[in-house]
Amino acid sequence: MDLELNDIQQELASTLNKYLRSEYDTQAREAILHSEEGISREKWEAFAEMGLLGLAIPENYGGAEMTFAEVAVVLEAFGRSLVLEPFLATAVLGANAIAAAGSEEQKQEILPSVCEGQTFLAFAALEPGLRYAVDAPSTTASAGADGAFTISGEKNGVLGGDVADQFIVTASENGELGLFLVAATATGVSRVTHRQADGQGSASVKFDNAPAQRLGAADAHAVVAELLDTANAAIMAEAVGVMEASLTMTAEYLKTREQFGAPIGANQALQHRAADLYADLEYARSMALYSRLAVTNEEAGSEKDRHRDVIAAKIIIDQSARTISQESIQMHGGIGMTMEYPIGHYAKRLTVISRTFDDADSLTAELAEIGGLIEPQAADLN
Amino acid sequence: MDTLLNAEEREFAQKMRQFYRTEIPEELRFKVATGQELTKEDMVTSQRILNQHGFAVPNWPVEWGGQDWTPVQRHIWLEEMQLACVPQPLPFNVSMVGPVIATFGSQEIKERFLPATANIDIWWSQGFSEPDAGSDLASLKTSAVRDGDKYIVNGQKTWTTLGQYGDWMFNLVRTDPNVKKQAGISFLLIDMKTPGVTVRPIQLIDGGHEVNEVFFDNVEVPVENLVGEENKGWTYAKFLLGNERTGIARIGGSKVNLARAKAYAAVTKTARGTLLDDPLFSARLTRIEAELTALEMTQLRILSTQAAGSDKPDPRSSVLKLKGSQLQEDISELLVDVLGPQGLDFVTDRAQGEGLSDLPLGAVDALPAYFNTRKVTIYGGSSEVQRGIISKALLGL
């Protein structure tokens, strides 16, 4: 049994962490946050040069043909530095959708450009008035002549939708779920851009008879399910990085902040709560790993377990994220409330993560509905 | 979690699974599975079968009956044992006094005690805690004063689990009162039949008799019963307590108990359907299932680094104790809540007689187990002690 990172992954983590420490420190991030676009295209290019944007993309489309495990390493590092660029939207959700459902031509057109950092993608699935559910969109797709489609409807909470060049849109075509590719500049596409609480960009997008291409003929339900499971595993890896940085920072603060003539960390009330946060972080690490193993399991028939395991993991991660974000602010006291000090930014990212794709309560209900993780069994009951 | 194991480990797990389910009497495993109390004879029977096959003391040195296993194999040995509801070998023998004697004892003392300890021909009791030395164990007062070729022992031990069955007792005693408290402690073996030893039962809130007080009144103990060197007892005790913490998360046992509560909940009717369909109950149950999975993954992660070469005790095992004990308590509470109004009586039998229907499954053990399980966040280093270790060793506070 070996659950540690392999040599290549360790090397990747160490190189990236080193880069981020010097090039993506608090000041650098602050400048990006306050820039007009809220992201740095220069940094994005640097990520492309490092090969990060195509890690899991096959080599013949310009990628490195590695696995999700390496993507998770990147996200954990990004979490530690609160990277603002839309990696999740473009390199995970977007690229995975194209890779899973796109035609050969679509893959050739888009994936190399993603790897090179020339294209931003966004997955547009959520709609107003329907909380987290993505299986039966109101947005419709209509087939026109010569195999072209048009899309009409409204999407919101589109992660990375503020800068996206292409949208991957879920829509119903004659009542069947389908995936469609729509250029952001196409006629009939309009968007209102937003900043999430954590500074990351999103958008509400209106499609009014917008010209679209169908993305493949694969079973769209299966594609979307895998897409979201993988994105969830990805955001969990990021969450671990964010939580680890939060706890490191909080422990450091407890050691250095003095009141009543002693570091506040000398108080057992705070020591024990910090210990609980450490235990929560360990749980989070374990479940990020659990979800990573679930989405990289290629055994036939593992899809059902995959979804179940990812849900279970997210329930724990959300719980840990909530406690660590709230307690970090509390232990910092007033300074934790300020925009000037980094801890609040970490708390904001965790607050958003635990509500992205789904939240712990609704996942708990779903996990219960599919039977949970343990088979009911009693020796005296048949 | 079998998928995380390599081919050899999987094969080993399969072998242990098969062994436990065929060699340990069904009747004993049923008792454990349904929360019934085990007799001394039950425990001895089970341990002797394990010992015959070399599975009672795998953590000991090979020359004394141990197995040259990896940390992962040891984990599988214990996990499969719990999943099969096999009565566990007596911890006082196999994970406490045995390893101390094997590591620090003289050849003579090893030969005298180790084979009998493995085969539970001697039932050991633990003499560590005292009325005024609980979490602060090193402040213990029971004294052993050297008098020629014997020690004269006076004092009192407490929380002596199953001391009513004990043949011998391993004790921490103060042999030098004039030095720093940790430096004056020795590890002494005492025959409980020696004149001056009195065992008195302590009644617990679960209604049972599990622990005792033990009094020593001028008890004469031959000096050859000293393990290792005089005044080095604290070192041996720390070694012993380090062993106690591994496996204390009891994940396999928790899985069995949770599966049982879930099965009962599925057949328990409420005003709105079955209890398993109740949204609040099922949410609570489901979160516990997810947490148990997180605990297991955490244990496997720690094991994985141990397998990779570091054999030092990992302070992260405090996380296992802290979280694992809390989960055991939560699960015991879940079973009480499954029974609801029918689990509130202390009864010894589900049958009520006189034309009345039987009480529901679990009615005998749920509530006593709930009260008994309060101990798990207290023993083996209380949750507060674990938090102290985590904040110091892992967070540097």
The pLDDT tens digits for A77-130 are 999 999 999 999 999 999 999 999 999 999 999 999 999 999 999 999 999 989
- Determine the Cα–Cα distance for residues B12 and A261; give it in Å rounded to an integer: 57
Determine the pLDDT at residue B244.
59
User: B11, B162, B6, B14: which is closest to B83 by C-alpha?
Assistant: B14
CA angle B132, B137, B143 (to 5 degrees): 70
- The reply to whether B112 falls in a domain is no
Q: What are the chain A neighbours of B392 within 8 Å (beta carbons)?
A: 271
- Determine the Cα–Cα distance for residues A345 and A363; give it in Å rounded to an integer: 26
Q: Which of residues 209-268 of A touch B (CB under 8 A)?
A: 247, 251, 254-255, 265-266, 268
Q: What are the chain A neighbours of B24 within 8 Å (beta carbons)?
A: none
Residue A108 CB-half CA count within 13 A: 3
- Which amino acid is present at A144? G
- Determine the Cα–Cα distance for residues B272 and B275; give it in Å rounded to an integer: 8
The pLDDT tens digits for B337-375 are 999 999 899 999 999 989 999 999 999 999 999 999 999
Out of A265, A275, A316, name the one closest to residue B290 (CB). Answer: A316
Q: Are residues B258 and B190 in the same domain?
A: no
pLDDT band of residue B380 (cuts 50, 70, 90) is confident
pLDDT above 90: percentage of residues in chain A: 93
The pLDDT tens digits for A143-191 are 987 879 999 999 999 999 999 999 999 999 999 999 999 999 999 999 9
Which residue blocks in chain B are alpha helix, DSSP H? 7-23, 26-33, 40-52, 71-83, 91, 98-104, 107-118, 233-245, 251-266, 279-307, 317-339, 366-373, 383-389
Task: Write b or e for each residue in B177-204: b if 16 or more Cβ atoms lie within 10 A of its Cβ, otherwise e.
Answer: eeeebeebbbbbbbebeeeebebeeeee
- Which amino acid is present at B149? D
DSSP string, B350-362: S---TTPPPPPTT
- Determine the Cα–Cα distance for residues B231 and B12; give it in Å rounded to an integer: 42
A285 close contact with B: CB closer than 8 A: yes
Determine the pLDDT at residue A125.
97
Interchain pair B361, A283: CB under 8 A: no
Closest-CA residue of chain B to A250: B395
The pLDDT tens digits for A64-74 are 999 999 999 99
Q: Show pLDDT as tens, one digit a residue, over chain A (382 residues).
A: 788 899 999 999 999 999 999 999 999 999 999 999 999 999 999 999 999 999 999 999 999 999 999 999 999 999 999 999 999 999 999 999 999 999 999 999 999 999 999 999 999 999 998 999 999 999 999 998 787 999 999 999 999 999 999 999 999 999 999 999 999 999 999 999 999 999 999 999 999 999 999 998 679 999 999 999 999 999 999 999 999 999 999 999 999 999 999 999 999 999 999 999 999 999 999 999 999 999 998 887 888 899 999 999 999 999 999 999 999 999 999 999 999 999 999 999 999 999 999 999 999 999 999 999 999 999 999 7
Q: Are residues B253 and B175 in the same domain?
A: no
Q: Are residues B180 and B287 in the same domain?
A: no
User: B330, B365, B178: which is closest to B254 by C-alpha?
Assistant: B330
Q: What are the chain B neighbours of A5 within 8 Å (beta carbons)?
A: none
Residue A192 backbone phi and psi in degrees, to 5 = -110, 125
Q: Are residues B372 and B263 in the same domain?
A: yes
- The reply to whether B66 falls in a domain is yes
User: Tokens 């994985």 correspond to what residue?
Assistant: B304
- The reply to whether B118 falls in a domain is no
- Determine the Cα–Cα distance for residues B340 and B270; give it in Å rounded to an integer: 10
- Which amino acid is present at B237? A
Which of B165, B194, B229 terminates a domain? The answer is B229
Here the CATH number for the domain that contains residue B71 is 1.10.540
Out of B29, B263, B295, name the one closest to residue A376 (CB). Answer: B263
Determine the pLDDT at residue A11.
96
- The reply to whether B152 falls in a domain is yes
In angstroms, what separates the C-alpha of A258 from chain B's closest C-alpha? 13
Determine the pLDDT at residue B234.
97
Q: Are residues B83 and B220 in the same domain?
A: no
Determine the pLDDT at residue B308.
57
Determine the pLDDT at residue A314.
98
- The reply to whether B106 falls in a domain is no
Q: Are residues B250 and B381 in the same domain?
A: yes
User: Tokens 């195509």 correspond to what residue?
Assistant: A54
**Measured between alpha carbons, how far is residue A169 from residues A109, A152, A166, A178, A251 in Å?**
17, 10, 9, 8, 43
The pLDDT tens digits for B104-153 are 999 999 999 999 999 999 999 999 999 999 989 999 999 999 999 999 99
- Determine the Cα–Cα distance for residues B318 and B320; give it in Å rounded to an integer: 5
Q: Are residues B57 and B146 in the same domain?
A: no
- Which amino acid is present at A80? R
Q: What are the chain B neighbours of A364 within 8 Å (beta carbons)?
A: 283, 286-287, 290
Q: What are the chain A neighbours of B85 within 8 Å (beta carbons)?
A: 379
Burial of A259 (0-12, 13-18, 19+ CB in 10 A): exposed
Tally of domains in chain B: 3
A287 close contact with B: CB closer than 8 A: yes
Q: Are residues B274 and B203 in the same domain?
A: no
Q: Are residues B162 and B256 in the same domain?
A: no
Here the CATH number for the domain that contains residue B355 is 1.20.140.10
What is the extent of the structural domain holding B322? Answer: 246-394
- Which amino acid is present at A332? H
Torsion of CA B357, B361, B366, B368, to 10 degrees: 60
- The reply to whether B67 falls in a domain is yes
Interchain pair A3, B304: CB under 8 A: yes
Token duo for residue B136: 């602060």
pLDDT band of residue B284 (cuts 50, 70, 90) is very high
- Which amino acid is present at B362? G
Token duo for residue A24: 């993506």
In angstroms, what separates the C-alpha of B291 from chain A's closest C-alpha? 7
Sign of the torsion formed by the C-alpha atoms of A232, A375, B371 and B95: negative
Strands A166-173 and A121-124, sheet pairing: parallel
Q: What are the chain A neighbours of B290 within 8 Å (beta carbons)?
A: 287, 312-313, 315-316, 364, 367, 373
Which residue blocks in chain A are alpha helix, DSSP H? 7-23, 26-33, 41-49, 68-81, 87, 95-101, 104-115, 220-256, 268-296, 303-332, 343-353, 360-369
Interchain pair B395, A293: CB under 8 A: no
Q: What are the chain B neighbours of A361 within 8 Å (beta carbons)?
A: 283
A372 close contact with B: CB closer than 8 A: yes
Helices and strands in chain B, H and E counts: 13, 10
Q: What are the chain A neighbours of B300 within 8 Å (beta carbons)?
A: 1, 3, 286
Residue B142 · residue B218 · CB < 8 Å:
no
A364 close contact with B: CB closer than 8 A: yes
DSSP string, A46-92: HHHHTTGGGTTS-GGGTS----HHHHHHHHHHHHHHT--S-HIIIII
Q: Are residues B271 and B206 in the same domain?
A: no
Token duo for residue B51: 């010992």
- The reply to whether B65 falls in a domain is yes
Residue B99 · residue B59 · CB < 8 Å:
yes
Q: Best residue in B299, B334, B335, B395 to probe A by mutation, most A CBs within 10 Å?
A: B395
Q: What are the chain B neighbours of A269 within 8 Å (beta carbons)?
A: none
Determine the pLDDT at residue B1.
72
Interchain pair A379, B30: CB under 8 A: yes
- Determine the Cα–Cα distance for residues B238 and B236; give it in Å rounded to an integer: 5
Residue B68 · residue B62 · CB < 8 Å:
yes
Burial of B69 (0-12, 13-18, 19+ CB in 10 A): middle
Determine the pLDDT at residue B311.
55
Q: Are residues B219 and B279 in the same domain?
A: no
> DSSP state, B254?
H
> DSSP state, B70?
-
Determine the pLDDT at residue B175.
98
Q: Are residues B17 and B74 in the same domain?
A: yes
Residue B143 · residue B69 · CB < 8 Å:
no
- Determine the Cα–Cα distance for residues B259 and B103; give it in Å rounded to an integer: 39
A373 close contact with B: CB closer than 8 A: yes
Token duo for residue A359: 């939240």
pLDDT at residue B37 above 90?
A: yes
Interchain pair A379, B388: CB under 8 A: no
Which of B182, B202, B229 terminates a domain? The answer is B229
pLDDT at residue B247 above 80?
A: no
Residue B118 · residue B93 · CB < 8 Å:
yes
A275 close contact with B: CB closer than 8 A: yes
Closest-CA residue of chain A to B76: A1
> DSSP state, A150?
E
User: Tokens 């640097």 correspond to what residue?
Assistant: A46
Strands B124-127 and B168-174, sheet pairing: parallel
Which of B89, B106, B135 terminates a domain? The answer is B89
- Give the bridge partners for A127, in sequence order: A130
- The reply to whether B236 falls in a domain is no
The pLDDT tens digits for B68-92 are 998 899 999 999 999 999 999 999 9
Determine the pLDDT at residue B44.
98
Residues in chain B: 397
- Determine the Cα–Cα distance for residues B353 and A135; give it in Å rounded to an integer: 56
- Structure pTM? 0.95
- Determine the Cα–Cα distance for residues B366 and B343; give it in Å rounded to an integer: 7
Q: What are the chain B neighbours of A315 within 8 Å (beta carbons)?
A: 286-287, 290
- Determine the Cα–Cα distance for residues A52 and A57; give it in Å rounded to an integer: 10
User: Tokens 């003392």 correspond to what residue?
Assistant: B109
In angstroms, what separates the C-alpha of B304 from chain A's closest C-alpha? 5
- Determine the Cα–Cα distance for residues A186 and A41; give it in Å rounded to an integer: 23
Domain annotation for chain A: domains and CATH numbers: 7-118 (1.10.540.10), 122-218 (2.40.110.10), 221-369 (1.20.140.10)
